[in-house]
Every structure is written in structure tokens, then in C-alpha cells.
Amino acid sequence: MNNRYVLITAAKDEEACIGKIIESVLRQTVQPLAWFIMDDGSTDRTVSIIERFAADHPFIRLQSARSRGGRNFGSQYKAIQAACELAKPLEFDFVAVQDADQAPEREDYYESILSEFQKNPRLGVASGVIYERPRGNWEFRPENSEDSVAASAVFRRNTFDQVGGYTPLYYQGSDWLIQLKVRMARWELLTRPDLHILHYRPTSSASRSEEHTSELQ
């Protein structure tokens, strides 16, 4: 087994932070074999920012998906599943999902996560923990739990394929459901509290009307 992984990100109207997220991946000591960024009909500068980085870094693969507008979780996870289909012909051992508004704090984040899979052949999914800044400084998110991984997580490819990937749900719950399926398949989960994932736009900052008005085709 080696450290080959594909990275998948679903993005919509993320011009405020997508540049920071891309830069965080470019700084990683172990970079992805390919990074599929699925744009879900952005109307701001998200696409142009991604294209600028992709011109200098060919492993960044921008894909566009037509959208009716607005955000919803079903749309996001359909985009992730579509990216998984695009990645299938590649030779890799891990699937990493990173939200378009979340970035690893440490440059060795992915290297550290991948090393955990080398230690434990039954490990199916792993992640760091989310930090947010509700008062201006980065703080541990109270919703973090040692019993579950973050939405931005790394899966063993065998595990991901065995459970069928994500089930797109219109409202929240797709990331919780895949963790349940991983456990039912008798794979282990791991959370590394020393590895921080910086969340630049907490869910509550997006209006509920935006989150629940569209469905990706």
C-alpha cells in the first residue's frame, strides 16, 4: 500500500475562501494524485479562481455541474459521487473528501492521516477535528466527537467502495450515514484531535433558504 489518494471537493459560490483552501492543499507534504473540484453552478468568481490555480497545477481537475441555484446537501454529495466516478480509472488507495470552505492547518495533515492507515489495516476512515472562529480566534468546535470523523475525511478506497460511497440526502446526514455504514461493515474510524481542519464558513453563516432550494441533476 502507498500514499496515493484522490481528493474530492464540491464547491458553490466559495470565492471568499476557495483560494485559501487550494493553497492549503498545495502546501501539503503529500499531495493528491488528482484533485477533482466539482463546481455546482457558481455565480461568483469561484470558477475563475480554481482555473487560475489549475493552470499551474495539472492535478487540479475542475469539473462543472449544472445547478438550479442555491445550496443543499443532496446536491453536494451527488457532486462528490460524480467525482468518484471520474476518478475510478486512476490507480489510488484512498479517497479524501474536503469541503470547499475547510482547510488543513498543518502541512503534513494528509501525510499524518495516511500514516494511520499504514498502522491499522482495519482502519476505514479517519480525519482531524474542526476548528472555527466564532469570536475571531480559532476554537475547537463543540460538536466534534472522538466517536465520529469530520465531514472532510479520508477513506480507504476498499472501504469507500464496499459501502457504496455517499448517499445523497436533501438535508444534512450524508456524512453521518456513511460513517454508520462503515461501522456496520466492521471497519474502524479514527479522529486525530491534534490535526486541525479550519472551517472558514460555518454552516450557520449560509442562509437556510440558500441551503435547501436546489437539486443537482
Nearest Cα residue to 79 out of 39, 119, 110: 39
24-33, 158-167, 202-211: which range is least confident on average?
202-211
What is the distance between the alpha carbons of residues 34 and 4, in angstroms, rounded to a whole number? 9
For the stretch 57-111, pLDDT in tens is 999 999 986 554 444 445 788 888 889 999 999 999 999 999 999 999 999 999 9
Q: Is the whole model's pTM more than 0.85, yes or no?
A: yes
Within 8 A by CB and 6+ apart from 177, the residues are 166, 167, 169
For the stretch 196-210, pLDDT in tens is 999 998 654 443 333
Within 8 A by CB and 6+ apart from 126, the residues are 113, 116, 117, 149, 153, 154, 189, 190, 191, 192
- Rg of the chain over all Cα atoms, to the nearest angstrom: 16
Backbone φ, ψ for residue 191 (5° rounding):
-115, 130
Per the CB < 8 A criterion, the answer to whether 31 and 58 are in contact is no
- Burial status of residue 114 (CB atoms within 10 A of its CB: 0-12, 13-18, 19 or more): buried
